[in-house]
Structures are given as structure tokens and as C-alpha cells.
Amino acid sequence: MKKMFDHSRQGLVALVSFLVVLAAWEALVHLLKVRPIMLPPPSAIFKELISEPVWYAGHAWYTLLTTMAGFVLSVVFGVAIAMLLVGSRWFESAVYPLIIAMNSVPKVAIAPLFVIWMGTGAEPKIAIAFLIAVFAIIVDTVHGLRSVPGDILDMGRVLKGSTLDFFFKVRLPCALPSILTGMKVAISLALVGAIVGEFVSSQRGLGYVIMSAQGTFDTARVFAAMFLLSLMGIVLFGALAWIEKRATPWRVPQ
């Protein structure tokens, strides 16, 4: 009961803080007579959102799908690559420098190549979302797999289980908190990647909404799309935080 009360209180504080910021924003825009093209008040942004809710929902859904596709691919391939890096020193020596080099390249610079290779559909957006998110999964998973306590490693050697059994029944469960931490980082990065892909070439998605609104100096529409992106990011991060609490109750206080 106390935990539920604490969560409710935290949610209420966050909501009140958000409403205070919006009220201050609205008041300052009117008091300082800021031009709407420079900074629209929250009331204008809300009016823009409710003017075409179905249209905005369609673009938000497209961005969500490409984000989730890139995120799921990053988790699958990221965990698999991390397992190979930990399990094989040869693979680590050969591949890890390449992974670091690829992560160092600005994704905006290579986004046009994905459009050339894959066309203007959803594929390049998914590829960019995957490429931006996968490094966080790899790094955190490798860290988790290598952070198994020494006493657990000793117990595994005493029991003389197979290397594969030990890996999947001991190392992977011990690495789960780190993997979930990487996933929380990766979901935000995947959303950024999807938007980058939509900036480069798209006729759908919230990134497209922002770029088209920029061309017509429709600042309220830009802020409306940004609000939906922020809301999407909060919901996705919150969903993973909820999964983390359920999957690792011994690590995350509830």
C-alpha cells in the first residue's frame, strides 16, 4: 500500500510540475508578446493537435512501428554479438574494433546511403534505428556477461556443467539487469534513428511532419510533432522500466 502511495505521489508531482511549466510558458509568451512563428503558446500547440487527430495518429503510428522494428533487431543482434564477443577472444579481437569504428561514424552522414541501397520505404528508417541503438545493447550486455560474481563462477566450475549450460543458465540471467539497462537506452536511440531516417527521405512519420512544417514555417505543427515524440519516448521508456521491475525484482526496488 505504501509503495502504491509513493508511486501515485511521484506521478502527481510530475504532472503538477508539467502543468506549471505549461502555464509559465503560456503566460510568458503572452506577456512578452512573442511571435507565434518563433514560439507558439501551449494552447496553440494543443489546438493544432486536436485539429487533425487522425492525421497525427497515423504519422505517430508509422514512427512507432519503425522505431520498434529497429529496436527489436538491435536487441536480437546486439545480445547475439555480445555473446560471441564474450565467448570468443578471436571474435572480440577481430570484430569489436569494427563495431567501435562504425559507432563513431555520424549516422546522419550514412543515412543517405541506406536510402540509396534500400529505397524510400520503411527499410532505411529501420536500418538507421537499428544501427544507432545496437551499440548500447552490445556494450551493456558485454558488461553484464563479464560481471558475474566470482563465487558463482566457482560454483559453476565445481558442478562441472557444460559451457553452454553455464552460459545460458548462469551468465545470461546474471547479465539480465545490464541487458535491460541497455534496452532502456536503446529504445530512445532507436526513436532518434527513426526520426533521422524520416528527415532524410520519407512521406510518412513524425519526422516528415517536422520537415514539411519547417518548410512552411508552421512552428505550432513542429511543436505538436515534438510533443508526440516526447510522449512516445516516455511511454516506451516507462514500459521497459516496468518490465525491468518485473524481470529483476531483486535489483530494482518496487
Q: Is the pLDDT of residue 185 over 60?
A: yes
**Average pLDDT over all residues of the chain:** 85
CB 37 within 8 A of CB 217: yes
Residue 10 sits in the same domain as residue 83: no
What's the whole-number mean pLDDT along residues 64-80?
95
160 φ/ψ sector (left φ>0, alpha ψ -120 to 50, else beta) = left
Residue 53 sits in the same domain as residue 167: yes
Residue 86 sits in the same domain as residue 147: yes
Residue 196 sits in the same domain as residue 74: yes
Q: Is the pLDDT of residue 114 over 90?
A: no
What would the pLDDT profile of 1-41 be if each residue is shown by its tens digit?
Answer: 555 555 566 667 777 888 888 899 889 888 888 888 888 98
Q: Is the pLDDT of residue 252 over 80?
A: no
pLDDT band at 67 (very low <50, low <70, confident <90, very high): very high
Residue 28 sits in the same domain as residue 116: no
What's the whole-number mean pLDDT along residues 157-179?
74
Least confident of 78-82, 103-107, 236-240: 103-107
pLDDT band at 54 (very low <50, low <70, confident <90, very high): very high
161 φ/ψ sector (left φ>0, alpha ψ -120 to 50, else beta) = beta
Length of the chain: 254
What pLDDT, on the 0 to 100 scale, is given for residue 79? 92
Tell me the CA distances in angstroms from 86 to 89, 131, 183, 252, one per residue in order: 7, 21, 19, 26
pLDDT band at 66 (very low <50, low <70, confident <90, very high): very high
Residue 132 sits in the same domain as residue 25: no
Distance between CA atoms of 251 and 253, rounded to whole angstroms? 7
Residue 81 sits in the same domain as residue 176: yes
Residue 105 sits in the same domain as residue 200: yes
pTM beyond 0.95: the answer is no
What pLDDT, on the 0 to 100 scale, is given for residue 64? 95
Residue 127 sits in the same domain as residue 57: yes
Per the structure, the count of domains in the chain is: 2
Q: With both helix axes pointing from N to C terminus, report the angle between 53-87 and 89-104 in degrees, rounded to the nearest 10.
A: 150
In a domain, 39, yes or no: no
In a domain, 14, yes or no: yes
pLDDT band at 158 (very low <50, low <70, confident <90, very high): low
In sequence order, the 6+-apart residues with CB closer than 8 A to the CB of 107 are: 128, 131, 132, 193, 196
Q: What is the CA radius of gyration of the chain?
A: 22
For residue 60, give the CATH number of its domain: 1.10.3720.10
- Among 31, 63, 59, 25, smallest CA distance to 44 is for 25
What's the whole-number mean pLDDT along residues 100-119?
83
Residue 17 sits in the same domain as residue 138: no
In a domain, 254, yes or no: no
Residue 101 sits in the same domain as residue 216: yes
In a domain, 8, yes or no: yes
pLDDT band at 254 (very low <50, low <70, confident <90, very high): very low
In a domain, 252, yes or no: no
What pLDDT, on the 0 to 100 scale, is given for residue 167? 74
pLDDT band at 216 (very low <50, low <70, confident <90, very high): confident
Q: Is the pLDDT of residue 159 over 70?
A: no
Distance between CA atoms of 190 and 69, rounded to whole angstroms? 9
Q: Is the pLDDT of residue 146 over 80?
A: yes
Residue 211 sits in the same domain as residue 85: yes
Domain that holds residue 21: 1-34
